[in-house]
Structure 1
Amino acid sequence: MIDLNKSIELVKEWAYEAGKAQKDNYEKEDLQISTKSSDIDLVTEIDDLSEKIIIKGIKREYPDHDILSEESEFEKTDSDYLWIIDPLDGTTNYAQGLPIFAVSIALEFRGKIVLGVVYNPMLDEMFSAVKGKGTYLNGKEIKIGGKDELIKSVIATGFAYDRNTNENNNISNFSKILPKVRGIRRMGAAAYDLACVACGRLDGYWEFNLKSWDVAAGILIIKEAGGEVVDISGGKNVSIIAGNKKMIKLIEKEIKA
């Protein structure tokens, strides 16, 4: 296996460089925006620029590794290593001028995530984890929160891009659980949601119909912080609940995938 201690420092550099490009172009007047799967599924020129920065770094250091990134076509080889990238998670926020978005980079080795970084450039927050070595926020180790009651918890969720056509759009779950918690946040950036669960700012998180690049880094970041992530997809998509063990069970009782 490659030296993950070296790799995590490289990944932080790539994430910081991509985040700097995002911050430098934040609220750009002539920002180029287009749509993908629907009118609410956006991509900007800064998504593409961020992706190029990260992929350039990977190809320079690890030219034989596979790369799965949100904005590029995936070409599978026989490599044991797979980089999973969301270069700008929270594109709609970015396009709107809302300062909640992040760079997400994970490394998978033989099907297991071994490294993850989530970087929020507007707050200059670098969440990082290497398998077996804990989770860190700007170099300081963090741990999952200890809440064990819904009514005392603040949790987060999100809604898929096909929510206008997909009956499993999470609206009924949102309505059901809302009266039972202290608060629900819908920040629009799954990677950052998961990072906030890892450090205890949020007590739990659930969402349906995600993509692997949305959650790969965040999953490891939560697990290395002492939390858990439960797959509720039934093999159909990426749908998860995250938090401490007790909070996951409480949320799971209230929602239907």
Structure 2
Amino acid sequence: MKDVPGSTVIGEELSPQAAQTGPLVWIVDPLDGTTNFLHGYPQYAVSIGALMEGTLSLGVVHDVVRDVSYWGALGLGAWMAERPLRVSGLGEPRHALVGTGFPFKNLPLLRRYLDQFAAVMGATSGIRRAGAAALDLADVAAGRLDCFWELSLAPWDVAAGVLLVREAGGVVTTVDGSPDVVRHGSIVAGNPTLHHWLMDLLRST
């Protein structure tokens, strides 16, 4: 990646403080779900996103255990191998399956998160926490999860997955509604109906 003229590479292990500026910025997590990997829990991935002139334009998430790759490109859709991805069409929150992640690296957020968790649990059919945000977002893009939220993630956790969800017809913002999610902070993703519902619920909790 660094050999591509004008490229910058950002990642937790690869210049995490580098600025997201330049003609081509690769945002890389070579192992999303590190704790899962260390414990032999089969949920971890490689995640690669690319910003072209500041616009999120490419995303690839490789599910290592299942040997499945998800990819998307701006304006070209999102795919699992040769199968197009589409977010779920579910509109009723009480039937929704929601993904999440714990703010284990930012414990001051825990009380707020637990209040949100209780509210979402009481309003839906269930919550899943698998420990690899890139795969959670791929599941939203594929329609397996109806929506997803987390309060404290890094750019390399989400860049590729955000592109997948958006190209699969979904909406991704921060909890405050900003579309600028490729940074340190919160994320809410889902189909348009449930994204709107989940944002309202989280902000009112």
Both structures adopt the same fold (TM-score exceeding 0.5): yes
Tell me how far apart the structure 1 counterparts of residues 80 and 185 of structure 2 sit (CA, whole Å).
26
Q: Aligned letter for 1:70?
A: E
Instruction: Give how far 1:59 is off.
Output: 2.6
Could you say which residue in structure 2 is the equivalent of 1:13? none
Indicate the structure whose relative CO is greater, using CA pairs within 8 Å and at least 6 residues apart: 2
- Shift in alpha-carbon separation, 1:109–1:202, aligned structure 2, 3 A: same
Residue of structure 2 in register with 1:115 after alignment: 58
- Partner amino acid for 2:93? L
Query: What is the SS of the residue equivalent to 2:166?
Result: helix
In structure 2, the CA distance between the partners of 1:239 and 1:85, relative to structure 1 (3 Å rule), is: same
| Identical amino acids, percent of aligned pairs | 36
Larger helix share, 1 or 2? 1
Q: 1:75, CA displacement in angstroms?
A: 4.2
Structure 1 position 164, deviation (Å)? 3.4
Q: With structure 1 as the length reference, what TM-score do the two structures score?
A: 0.72
Could you tell me whether the CA contact under 8 Å between 1:229 and 1:241 is conserved in 2? yes
CA deviation vs aligned residue, 1:126-164 (integer Å, no higher than 9, x gap): 000010001100121111110001111101011122343
Equivalence for 1:160 = 103
Counterpart check, 1:66 vs 2:8: yes
CA separation in 1, counterparts of 2:20 and 2:80? 33
Q: Would you say 1:199 and 2:146 are equivalent positions?
A: no
1:182 to 125, 150, 155: 125
- Counterparts of 2:197 and 2:12, CA distance in 1: 32
1:151 aligned partner: 94
Query: Is 1:248 equivalent to 2:195 in the alignment?
Result: yes
**Mapped contact 2:2–2:9 kept (Cα < 8 A):** no
Greater Cα offset, 69-78 or 107-116: 69-78
Alignment deviations for residues 40-72 of structure 1 (CA, whole Å, 9 cap, x no partner): xxxxxxxxxxxxxxxxxx134x14301101112
Gapped runs of 5+ residues in structure 2?
A: none
Find out whether 1:81 has 2:24 as its counterpart: yes
> Distance between the aligned counterparts of 2:21 and 2:134, measured in 1?
28
| Structure 1 or 2: more strand by fraction | 2
TM-score by length of 2: 0.89
8 Å CA contact 1:163, 1:169 repeated in 2: no
Paired residues, what number?
199
Name 2:72's counterpart in structure 1.
129
Q: C-alpha distance in 2, partners of 1:230/1:120?
A: 24
Q: Please tell me whether the aligned partners of residues 171 and 191 of structure 2 are also in contact (alpha carbons under 8 angstroms).
A: yes
The structure number with the bigger radius of gyration is 1
Work out the CA distance in 2 between the residues paired with 1:229 and 1:128: 17
> Which residue is 1:12 aligned to?
none
C-alpha separation between the residues in 2 aligned to 1:77 and 1:224? Answer: 21
Output the amino acid matched with 1:252. Answer: M
Task: After the TM superposition, list the runs of 4 or more consecutive aligned residues in structure 1 that deviate by more than 6 angstroms.
Answer: none
Aligned to 2:158: 215
RMSD: 2.1
